[in-house]
Structure 1
Amino acid sequence: MRTRAVGIAAGIISWVGLALAVLLVVHVVLTVGGANPANPITTTVKELAEPLALAFRDLFDPEDAKLKVIVNFGLAALFWLGVRAIVLKLVRRLN
């Protein structure tokens, strides 16, 4: 029973961590790709991605706005993938 619970928890953590990183990357792609900022998909992704970027959102401040999104939101995505890996390792040790 414990093994199954740990497996389920690890699966949920894995998918959530991956989803957070993918959302940040999608925001980068939409921004760099020049997606219409008034489009509901673009605005929704931006609204969801900004709080997930945490303190990375304005860590670097280059003059080029697209470069700023690539660097800062890209770092935030890497951060969430790192958090995901660490938490997964800890949860799997419970097994």
Structure 2
Amino acid sequence: MKRQNRGAWRVFFFSFAAALCLFILGIGFVLVDYQGRKLSFGDDQPPFQVVEHQDGTADLKIKLMGKETELDVTAFDKMLKFICEFGCLPHS
């Protein structure tokens, strides 16, 4: 490796390690919140849950840090089902 190329690799590895640490920290927050709700309140619902309705729509129910939100993920759900069926992969 050339000397000037080492600096670029250092920047890349430092930023990659920082992003990985932030990702692991976020996963830790989600797990601690879930386990705390489970132990304190007996709430066994997962933090992220896809709810399918009778009319064919799907919502992503997010329950984190005391907040509850629902997002419409109908297109993503249909795409995932198509990929699973096309690839003959098992899905529910």
User: TM-score, structure 1 length as denominator?
Assistant: 0.40
Which of the pair has more CA radius of gyration?
2
Higher helix fraction (1 or 2): 1
In the superposition, the TM-score normalised over structure 2's length comes to 0.42
More strand by share: 2
